[in-house]
């Protein structure tokens, strides 16, 4: 492993209505040792209280992926689009040439818990667009986002792939990338890997041609990034 990020060392924001943990430097949280990995720039784990959310704000030239873990988010943008992203859904927004949008907890009773992921784009200035899918786990490693989409995945404006990894207790999996960088972010559960024990919110990166064996201590759900 060339990089390990521990959950309890992440940047934290607590505004009452929002509790957010930043894997990489974001907003008022800055740490030059944690600026992202390859084209992966942001992983924020956000918990938004009922009826609350982010007022209208702008994005440009960024691929933004929302993975809703529980509850639901309501998106509204300057192009007249409105979406509700429910638990289990994955949404990709290409901000491209620029877009204004808001994100609110869609419920007035239940908190919303989600991961917001930013990946730097391959091409700048493209027309803003969205894709959204509910993707069932089909294999131990199930692709969610791929460069060209297709086969039940979302597309992305970058040479990057995002998959969901699910392991049962005691199950093993070898992770490797042929080129570029691999990055595993644990959503829930715990795993042994390369003499390290990692659990919810922890993450690590590996180089091309490096193989790391995961051994699940308990039911594991994680996101696996293959980055150029």
8 SS3 class: helix
100 SS3 class: strand
- DSSP label at 33? T
Angle subtended at Cα 156 by Cα 177 and Cα 55, rounded to the nearest 5 degrees: 120
Domains contained in the chain, number: 1
- Which residue range(s) make up the domain with 21? 3-227
Q: Which residues neighbour 138 within 8 Å (Cβ) at sequence distance 6 or greater?
A: none
CATH code at position 157: 2.60.120.10
Mean pLDDT of successive 10-residue stretches along the chain, which has 228 residues: 96 97 96 98 98 95 98 92 94 96 96 98 97 96 96 97 98 96 98 97 96 98 97
- State the pLDDT at residue 193: 97
CA distances from 221 to 159, 182, 186 (A): 24, 16, 6
- State the pLDDT at residue 79: 86
Token readout for 174 is: 């070898």
């Amino acid at each position: 492993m060339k990089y390990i990020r521990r959950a309890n060392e992440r940047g934290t924001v607590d505004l009452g209505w929002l509790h957010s943990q930043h894997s990489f430097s974001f907003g008022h949280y800055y740490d030059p040792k944690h600026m992202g990995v390859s084209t992966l720039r942001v992983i924020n784990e956000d918990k938004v209280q009922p009826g609350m959310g982010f007022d209208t704000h702008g994005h440009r030239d960024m691929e933004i992926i929302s993975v809703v873990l529980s509850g639901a988010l309501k998106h509204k943008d300057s192009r007249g689009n409105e979406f509700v992203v429910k638990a289990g859904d994955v949404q990709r927004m290409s901000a491209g040439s620029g877009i204004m949008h808001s994100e609110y907890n869609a419920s007035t009773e239940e908190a919303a818990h989600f991961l917001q992921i930013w990946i730097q784009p391959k091409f700048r200035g493209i027309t803003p667009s969205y894709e959204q899918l509910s993707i069932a786990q089909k294999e131990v490693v199930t692709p969610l986002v791929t460069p060209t989409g297709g086969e039940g995945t979302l597309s992305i404006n970058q040479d990057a792939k995002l998959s969901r990894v699910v392991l049962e207790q005691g199950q093993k999996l070898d992770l490797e990338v042929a080129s570029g960088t691999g990055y595993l972010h644990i959503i829930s559960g715990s795993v042994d890997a390369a003499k390290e024990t990692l659990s919810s919110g922890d993450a690590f990166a590996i180089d091309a041609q490096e193989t790391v064996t995961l051994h699940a201590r308990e039911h594991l759900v994680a996101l696996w990034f293959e980055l150029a």
